[in-house]
Structure 1
Amino acid sequence: MISQKLLSYTLYSKCHKYVQIVQCRNIQVTVIGAASEIGKNVALLLKLNSLITRLHLYDDDNTVHGIGLELARTPGGPTVTSFTGDNFLPPAVRYSRLILMVSRIPRKLGYTRDQMLAANALPVQKICRTLPEHNPDAFFAISSNPINSIISFASALLNNYKTFNKYRLFGITNIDTARARALLGNALNVNPRHLHVPVIGGHSDNTIVPLFSNILPSHYSITQNQAETLTRLLRKSGNEVLNLKVGIDAATLAMAWSINEFIEHLLEALCGGYSIVNSFTANPHFGTKFFSGPNKVGPTGIIETCSSFVMSEYERSLLDQAVPIINREVAQGEDYIREIEASKYF
């Protein structure tokens, strides 16, 4: 179980990467949903990553071929190939060490969790049906909302196909830590890249629990009133962006940036080292089946999940309120399998 001491050492040792990264060979990454607004931005950022050899872009939307051609004719970085249509999903994912799935339907004003689950469950179902035969050992990272339900839904599907590996399925929640660092950096008037704030719980408004009492480096601190204010700001950040964009677009740029940062850490692990990533994954240490927090990842997947933190009374209260919500939303994802199985799509 990952300890706070290890987390501190990992993130703030002088070299940061205290395990040497061996030379990478043949790292192929697949982006599912690459024609979406988030997907396009992620693909552009991944084109700049020197650790990736081949970048596969898949989408049901034929415009993915234009995106692929545009990036393929941009100098440097991985070779880029685009795919579309059900028949081309297997070659799109085959041999990829990491498969990333981004939302085809992003968060929108007025959308309920049920609507988001219904919109994004079918694409997740399709990839979960493909992976067992064509790439059962890949890291599978999902950034489709609602994360708290989608991850349990995907795990239940993969379990039905007898290929669920709890160490290689990630719900990407790095956006929460990225926003927490940005808000804290502004409050402290320091560069947020020099800060770390564990964000635990889940990835819905009432389950996001930032631990501002655990700021690293530890010589930084804020008052209780500041912590409560920043927590409220963090929890409503997504809705604020939606409102300011008049509901026509989600936080696509922030999501793409945070997904790219998450993938950078996973690639370090795949290349022979290990990294700390914030993800919603199988974790029973807090009274839930799945839980979001900083987890240690190595070349074979998750090595240690977060297990305990020293918290303020306020943070403990937030977590106590979040746990039953997380359990309810996880159960909603698991239960949704029955609805999908009864549909014509399964």
Structure 2
Amino acid sequence: MFSRITRRQFSTTPSTAYKTVVLGAAGGIGQPLSLLMKLNHKVTQLSLYDLRNAPGVAADLSHIPTNSVVKGFTPDNEGLAGALKDADVVLIPAGVPRKPGMTRDDLFKTNASIVRDLAKAIADNAPKAAVLVISNPVNSTVPIVAEVFKSKGVYNPKKLFGVTTLDVLRASRFTSEVLGTNPVQEKVTVVGGHSGITIVPLLSQTKKKDFDPEVRDALTHRIQFGGDEVVQAKQGAGSATLSMAQAGARFANSVLSGLAGETDVVEPTYVDSPLFKSEGIDFFSSKVTLGTEGVKEVHGLGEISSYEQDLINKAKETLIKNIQKGVTFVKENP
């Protein structure tokens, strides 16, 4: 049988065998996310990295009979470099979770340093990988990764993603509860960013289209601040981990499907976007078509209501600050 590299060299079609890496694999999001990636048939190599316990998680998952080899790495013996070598897709759920009363912005100081250091390692060891940032606050951590990559001369805007899929999942679920429909069939596009008022669900583009203003306002608010429900329900013991793992796995699968050459793979995601760049907003979440090189096309917002336009205007004000915060952090803390 050909080695992985040899298969790629002689294949005339995009490979469907990929190495996926989870950085922060022993954490609350990392463990269920690693499980879901072990179950993904597109993943043939799964590398798990964390400060501790990653080899144990890998050993546990390795007993599951799917066609992938799992290895766990810690900082010992240059483990981060080993985990990242030849990676196709890198998921970053590493960081501290939210606690009651904390906003995603409160997480910034700790998580910014973690993401910066991981970004440096990715740039050095897997510069061509698709990088999926889950660590909050995503509005700021994605620009941090971009700035690190730029400083090392390996920035590819087509392969850097902020995972906003949890907002999409919540929007589908919460909207279906209001309408009494099947959440699997309730599609809701969510644009903007990934915190609070930067999360803008385009309810006018759903099958329902016209909601009673009070219902619309309450539904929009719940989608924007759905994470608070989990933080409060867990009573200080954590934030959304299982639903976030599912969201990360869904988006990772979409990225892998695009890399494999599947067509019409479309997901909302926070990327280097042309939509509002003229206004100083370099990153924005909208529907994106995924392909063999990562981002194939960034879609516009389509027809939206005046209510949604107002929400987007407010979101843009916050996004400018969030993005600049990430850029400034890297300048001041290279």
- TM above 0.5: yes
Secondary structure in structure 1 of the residue aligned to 2:321? helix
Aligned twin of 2:291: 298
Counterpart of 1:176 (choices 150, 163, 167) is 167
Q: CA deviation at 1:51?
A: 1.2
Identity, % of aligned positions: 31
Counterpart of 2:218 (choices 229, 234, 252) is 229
Secondary structure in structure 2 of the residue aligned to 1:184? helix
Provide the C-alpha distance between the structure 1 equivalents of 2:16 and 2:290, rounded to a whole number of angstroms: 19
Q: CA deviation at 1:309?
A: 2.0
8 Å contact 1:35–1:59 — kept in the other structure?
Answer: yes
Aligned twin of 1:109: 100
For residues 257-276 of structure 1, what are the structure 2 equivalents within 5 Å? 257-274=246-263, 275-276=265-266
Secondary structure in structure 2 of the residue aligned to 1:37? coil
Provide the C-alpha distance between the structure 2 equivalents of 1:77 and 1:42, rounded to a whole number of angstroms: 17
Provide the C-alpha distance between the structure 2 equivalents of 1:132 and 1:220, rounded to a whole number of angstroms: 44
For residues 145-294 of structure 1, what are the structure 2 equivalents within 5 Å? 145-215=136-206, 218=207, 222-274=211-263, 275-286=265-276, 287=279, 288-294=281-287
1:315 matches 2:308? yes
Counterpart of 2:71 (choices 73, 76, 81) is 81
Provide the C-alpha distance between the structure 1 equivalents of 2:231 and 2:30, rounded to a whole number of angstroms: 18
- Equivalent pairs, count: 317
8 Å contact 1:24–1:51 — kept in the other structure?
Answer: no
8 Å contact 2:138–2:162 — kept in the other structure?
Answer: yes
- Mean Cα displacement is larger for which, 282-291 or 93-102? 282-291
Provide the C-alpha distance between the structure 1 equivalents of 2:102 and 2:307, rounded to a whole number of angstroms: 30
8 Å contact 1:266–1:277 — kept in the other structure?
Answer: no
Amino acid across the alignment from 1:82? G
Q: CA deviation at 1:106?
A: 1.6
Amino acid across the alignment from 1:68? A
- Mean Cα displacement is larger for which, 311-320 or 86-95? 86-95
Q: Deviations over 1:76-100 (max 9, x none)?
A: 2411111110611111111111011
Q: CA deviation at 1:220?
A: 6.5
For residues 331-346 of structure 1, what are the structure 2 equivalents within 5 Å? 331-341=324-334
Gap change, CA 1:241 and 1:132, over 3 Å in 2: closer
Amino acid across the alignment from 1:52? V
Amino acid across the alignment from 1:147? V
1:34 matches 2:25? yes
The TM-score with structure 1 as length reference comes to 0.87
Q: CA deviation at 1:113?
A: 4.6
Q: CA deviation at 1:109?
A: 2.0
1:328 matches 2:328? no
Q: CA deviation at 1:103?
A: 3.1
Amino acid across the alignment from 1:326? L
Amino acid across the alignment from 2:59? L
8 Å contact 2:130–2:160 — kept in the other structure?
Answer: yes
Aligned twin of 2:6: none
Provide the C-alpha distance between the structure 2 equivalents of 1:191 and 1:40, rounded to a whole number of angstroms: 28
Aligned twin of 2:111: 120
- Mean Cα displacement is larger for which, 332-341 or 321-330? 332-341
The TM-score with structure 2 as length reference comes to 0.90
Provide the C-alpha distance between the structure 2 equivalents of 1:201 and 1:111, rounded to a whole number of angstroms: 21
8 Å contact 1:103–1:145 — kept in the other structure?
Answer: no
Amino acid across the alignment from 1:37? G
8 Å contact 1:60–1:85 — kept in the other structure?
Answer: yes
8 Å contact 2:144–2:329 — kept in the other structure?
Answer: yes
Gap change, CA 1:265 and 1:25, over 3 Å in 2: closer
Provide the C-alpha distance between the structure 1 equivalents of 2:221 and 2:319, rounded to a whole number of angstroms: 18
Amino acid across the alignment from 2:218? T
8 Å contact 2:286–2:301 — kept in the other structure?
Answer: no
Provide the C-alpha distance between the structure 2 equivalents of 1:24 and 1:191, rounded to a whole number of angstroms: 35
Provide the C-alpha distance between the structure 2 equivalents of 1:25 and 1:271, rounded to a whole number of angstroms: 5
Provide the C-alpha distance between the structure 1 equivalents of 2:208 and 2:222, rounded to a whole number of angstroms: 23
8 Å contact 2:50–2:73 — kept in the other structure?
Answer: yes
Provide the C-alpha distance between the structure 2 equivalents of 1:137 and 1:32, rounded to a whole number of angstroms: 16
Provide the C-alpha distance between the structure 2 equivalents of 1:76 and 1:153, rounded to a whole number of angstroms: 35
Q: CA deviation at 1:219?
A: 6.5
Provide the C-alpha distance between the structure 2 equivalents of 1:25 and 1:145, rounded to a whole number of angstroms: 30
Secondary structure in structure 1 of the residue aligned to 2:299? coil
- Mean Cα displacement is larger for which, 89-98 or 282-291? 282-291
Provide the C-alpha distance between the structure 2 equivalents of 1:120 and 1:148, rounded to a whole number of angstroms: 12
Unaligned runs of 5+ in 2: 1-12
Amino acid across the alignment from 1:104? G
